[in-house]
């Protein structure tokens, strides 16, 4: 059956078919405009774990998402599919996570791990594992970019998209990272891990093609990170959650703030979305929740402005989604965000149903 025939026979108002693809859509990966790459990796998480299971939970929750999109006409017809999981990534993550936990526990207890041969071996193994993961992700992203697919990455922790950004640099040249997050993620080798989830944006800035980093919603950061922001000569522009809220309390509007954010963005944009950028009532099980943050529609409002400005979102990620015991709320929110974001990204790239 051709894609056109599948569209004709598909009941958009029907129950989500759990035997079909992502969001219950009937398309093969080859027929989908957007391909999602799952990366079940959480080696360096420093607080709550479980984010490696987020992508599976999002997939399952996607069958409950209604497919009408108020912005993108017949968006579902473009197709969104998820690549098969790389089981070696999950296996390495599980093994290295245990070693990382032992290291973090030792450091938290005030021990000098630099003189411990076991811990030093673990640091080397974790570093090599992270390099391998980045390379594996980069190659998979390149595989789909070469097929003219729009690519999204689903973590896993926030360290996962570095390889993706490296692939985008080779494909598109200069671009900006638009980061929605509670944390600045500009720490240098946090807890001894160069490729920590808390260092993803510090590492992104090492990519020369990343001409700018625009951060939105940041509300948990250290002095070192603030020094990097202030010393970046404009390469890093941060819209702190406190500043956003205070200007709104003084009579400013989210509309005008979004206009200022959009004006900071160059033409090509990579969207990196840590779910903890939202109000934690929407993602209570995420690894490091922080009071404050956004409502879902605030983020969609911002992204809609980005798209309507004519700028191109070249790719995106959503990460740090952790399913909770006895509740599917976190993945429920993430799946709905994912659908709307994927549709807007496709729209910004000129894709149509």
Q: What's the token pair of residue 263?
A: 């004006």
Local structure of 199: helix, strand or coil:
helix
Average pLDDT over residues 148-159: 96
3-class state of residue 338 by DSSP: helix
Cβ-based neighbours of 85, under 8 Å, separated by 6 or more: 38, 40, 55, 56
3-class DSSP assignment, residue 282 = coil
Q: What is the CA radius of gyration of the chain?
A: 20
Q: For the whole model, what pTM was predicted? A: 0.96
- Collapsing DSSP to helix, strand or coil, 99 comes out as helix
**What token pair was written down for 36?**
């999602």
Phi, psi for 149 (deg, rounded to 5): -90, 150
Tell whether the model's pLDDT for residue 75 goes beyond 70.
yes
Cα 214 to Cα 41, 172, 201, 303, distances in angstroms: 25, 18, 10, 13
pLDDT at 164: 98
According to the model, what pLDDT value does residue 59 have?
95
Q: What are the b/e assignments for 190-206, b being 16+ CB within 10 Å?
A: bbbbbbbbbbbbbbbbe
Domain ranges, ordered by start, for the chain: 3-348
pLDDT tens-digit profile of 85-103?
999 999 999 999 998 888 8
Q: Which DSSP symbol is given to 52?
A: G
Q: What is the pLDDT of residues 271-326, one digit of tens each?
A: 999 999 999 999 999 988 999 999 999 999 999 999 999 999 999 999 999 998 77
Q: What is the mean pLDDT of residues 193-221?
A: 96
CA distances from 316 to 110, 161, 250 (A): 38, 9, 33
Please state which CATH number belongs to domain 3-348. Answer: 3.40.800.10
The pLDDT of residue 242 is 98
User: For the segment 9-22, what is each residue's pLDDT rounded down to a tens digit?
Assistant: 999 999 888 889 99
In whole angstroms, what is the distance from residue 42 CA to residue 100 CA?
10
DSSP class of residue 192? G
- 46 neighbors 200 (Cβ within 8 angstroms): no
Q: For the chain, first and last CA: distance in Å?
A: 18
Q: What is the DSSP letter of 21?
A: S
pLDDT at 16: 86
pLDDT > 90 fraction of the chain, expressed in percent and rounded? 83
Cis peptide before 156 (omega within 30 of 0): yes
Cα distance between residue 276 and residue 95, in whole Å? 26
State the chain's mean pLDDT as an integer: 94
Q: Tokens for 167? A: 């692939």
DSSP, residue by residue, 178-190? EEE-SB----SSG
C-alpha distances in angstroms, 49 versus 153, 193, 240, 288, 342?
19, 17, 26, 9, 26
SS3 assignment, position 193: coil
User: Has residue 166 got a pLDDT over 80?
Assistant: yes
Q: How confident is the model at residue 46 (pLDDT cuts 50, 70, 90)?
A: low
CA 3, CA 319: separation in Å to the nearest integer? Answer: 30
């Amino acid at each position: 059956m051709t894609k056109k025939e599948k569209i004709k026979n598909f009941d958009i108002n029907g129950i989500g078919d759990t035997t079909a693809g992502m969001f219950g859509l009937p398309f093969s990966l080859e027929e989908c405009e957007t391909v999602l790459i799952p990366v079940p990796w959480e080696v360096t998480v420093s607080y709550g774990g479980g984010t490696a299971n987020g992508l599976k939970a999002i997939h399952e929750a996607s069958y409950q998402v209604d497919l009408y999109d108020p912005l993108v006409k017949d968006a579902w017809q473009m197709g969104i599919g998820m690549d098969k999981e790389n089981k070696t990534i999950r296996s390495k993550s599980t093994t290295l996570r245990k070693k990382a936990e032992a290291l973090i526990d030792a450091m938290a207890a005030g021990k000098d791990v630099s003189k411990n041969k076991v811990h030093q071996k673990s640091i080397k193994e974790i570093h090599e594992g992270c390099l391998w993961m980045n390379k594996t992700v980069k190659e998979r992203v390149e595989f789909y970019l070469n097929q003219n697919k729009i690519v999204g990455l689903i973590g896993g922790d926030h360290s996962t998209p570095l390889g993706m950004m490296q692939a985008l640099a080779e494909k598109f040249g200069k671009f900006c990272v638009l980061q929605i997050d509670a944390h600045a993620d500009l720490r240098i080798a946090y807890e001894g891990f160069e490729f920590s989830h808390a260092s993803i944006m510090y590492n992104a800035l090492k990519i020369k093609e990343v001409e700018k980093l625009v951060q939105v919603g940041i509300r948990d950061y250290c002095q070192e990170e603030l020094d990097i922001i202030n010393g970046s000569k404009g390469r890093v522009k941060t819209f702190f959650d406190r500043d956003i809220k205070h200007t709104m309390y003084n009579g400013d509007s989210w509309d005008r703030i979004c206009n200022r954010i959009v004006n900071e963005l160059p033409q090509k944009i990579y969207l990196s979305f840590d779910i903890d950028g939202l109000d934690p009532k929407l993602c209570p099980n995420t690894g490091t929740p922080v009071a404050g943050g956004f409502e879902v529609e605030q983020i969609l409002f911002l992204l809609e402005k980005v798209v309507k400005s004519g700028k191109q979102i070249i790719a995106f990620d959503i990460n740090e989604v952790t399913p909770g015991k006895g509740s599917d709320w976190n993945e429920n929110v993430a799946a709905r965000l994912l659908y709307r974001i994927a549709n807007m990204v496709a729209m910004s790239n000129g894709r149509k149903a």
